[in-house]
Amino acid sequence: MIRVLALLPLGLSLAISASAPAAAQSRHDSSAPIDFGAQHIEIQERDHRVLLTGSVRITQAEMTLNSARMTLTYTGEITAPEVNRIDASGGVTVTRPDQSATAQFGVYDINRRVITLLGGVTLRQGGNVIQGSRLSINLDTGRATIDGSSAGGAPGVENSGGRVTGRFSVPRRNNPPPPATPPTN
């Protein structure tokens, strides 16, 4: 893995939450150094883009973003870029120590501090699982919203029928419930 601080001052804080909408999660350290690895990097200076392809992995603090391809858009010169957006495609996975989210596409708008995952979204925390078409995370408020509509989604992404589905785990109890008493007549 190559450490690149000058190229990727992303402030990448991909926090995911376990419900929709949800309470704020622990804050991600967006000032931590960012490490990345990819099979190929292409710098498109005229277009102010950097393409990373082939098993791309970005890690910052305890958060990791993986996908087949990422496009980083920046302003300024390549010697001191200011990255303002990351587009990820092809098996996008965001993980933190106790959470993970997967989708077909992901967009991190660094200026707005919003992460959007699109297409076949699955959000997991412990035994809780939520599935939908679109997940939006506001990194300032920690609010996450997941929906089943494909409105505003990516072209070619199948709609989940407009529904969010999931399963929440229930804590096990140490004491068994009292036996049911048969009704008396």
pLDDT tier at 136, thresholds 50, 70, 90: confident
Burial class of residue 70 in the structure, from the number of CB atoms within 10 Å of its CB (0-12 exposed, 13-18 middle, 19+ buried): buried
With the C-alpha atoms ordered 117, 118, 122, 128, is the resulting torsion angle positive or negative? positive
CA atoms within 13 A on the CB side of 41: 13
User: Domain spans of the chain?
Assistant: 2-25+32-167
Identify which has the larger pLDDT, 29 or 36.
Answer: 36
**To the nearest whole number, what is the mean pLDDT of the chain?**
75
Determine if the pTM surpasses 0.75: no
CATH number given to 2-25+32-167: 2.60.450.10
Please determine, for residue 78, whether its predicted confidence score (pLDDT) is greater than 70.
yes
